[in-house]
Structure 1
Amino acid sequence: MKKNSRRQFIKSAAIAAIAPSVLTVDQPKQILHQVFFWLKNPESEADKQALLKGLRTLKAIPQIKKLIIGTPAATEKRPVIDNSYDICLLEYLSSVEDEKAYQVHPIHKAFVEQCSHLWKKVQIYDVEVME
């Protein structure tokens, strides 16, 4: 009985030791898709509301796990802070493949078609989450 117990222990320990590496090998990395918009007419509340309405339609895209819309925070001004944009969009996606699918989704294409006349500049930062 000792022999079987010891073999079972060694087998269990070996499986436990390699399990974390096996589980993480093929795990896709989450993508944070950050989009900063500079409006053509930043003083126009109608243009701002039209862009916000368009951005909210993106919530219906199934690849988006979480969507956050915001404006520059009233934090202390420092040389490293860029708060020159008007509206920011932050999306959480499960993988690069989901980001690719999002880009060609009909709702995203419609948003760009209907709202691109509102902005003078768009800057995108895609982040692959490490941990």
Structure 2
Amino acid sequence: MPVNRRDVVGAVALGGAAMISDAASAASAPGAKIVHHVFFWLKRPGSGQDRDQLIAGLRALAKIQVIRSLQIGVPASTEQRDVVDASFDVSELMVFDNVADQKLYQDHPIHQDFIAKCGHLWRKVIVYDMLTI
């Protein structure tokens, strides 16, 4: 059976609409969480004192009540592969119930104090925010 251009365009449009619908339903799905993963590169990468000060500052964030989970870590000694980026110095992973709670965290005085007290320690920060599905 021959396939014409109109059929292909229609199928692509329906597929795109389905993907948008799936993303929208995931955002409102019960139990969906916001995962906030932050990677820090220190200005002085070899400084254990700077690393420890940053980790202490990150631990203080646990007092913010909207944080459901907080993990803090450093690069693991796993196998070196092209897809693994272990160039960061410290990372933190947080889980929130929703986007509104993540925003409350961003604006919270404890978080703002962390930035003021520890911001001088890092040269680079990358954030990955994810909605669980």
Q: TM-score range by the shorter chain?
A: 0.7 to 0.9
1:91 aligns with 2:94: yes
State the 1:25 CA deviation: 5.6
Larger radius of gyration: 1
Q: Structure 2: how far apart are the matches of 1:84 and 1:96?
A: 29
Q: Structure 2: how far apart are the matches of 1:37 and 1:113?
A: 15
State the number of aligned residues: 107
How high is the TM-score relative to the length of structure 2?
Answer: 0.77
Which consecutive segments of 4 or more residues in structure 1 shift more than 3 A?
24-28
RMSD of aligned alpha carbons? 1.5
Look up the match of 1:125: 128
Describe how 1:1-131 pairs up with structure 2 within 5 A: 27=30, 29-130=32-133
Q: Percent identity?
A: 46
What code does the residue aligned with 1:94 have?
Answer: D
State the 1:111 CA deviation: 0.2
State the 1:28 CA deviation: 6.3
Q: Deviations over 1:92-128 (max 9, x none)?
A: 1100010011000000000001000000000000010
Q: Structure 1: how far apart are the matches of 2:124 and 2:28?
A: 38
Look up the match of 1:19: none
Structure 2 residues not aligned, in runs of 5+: 1-26
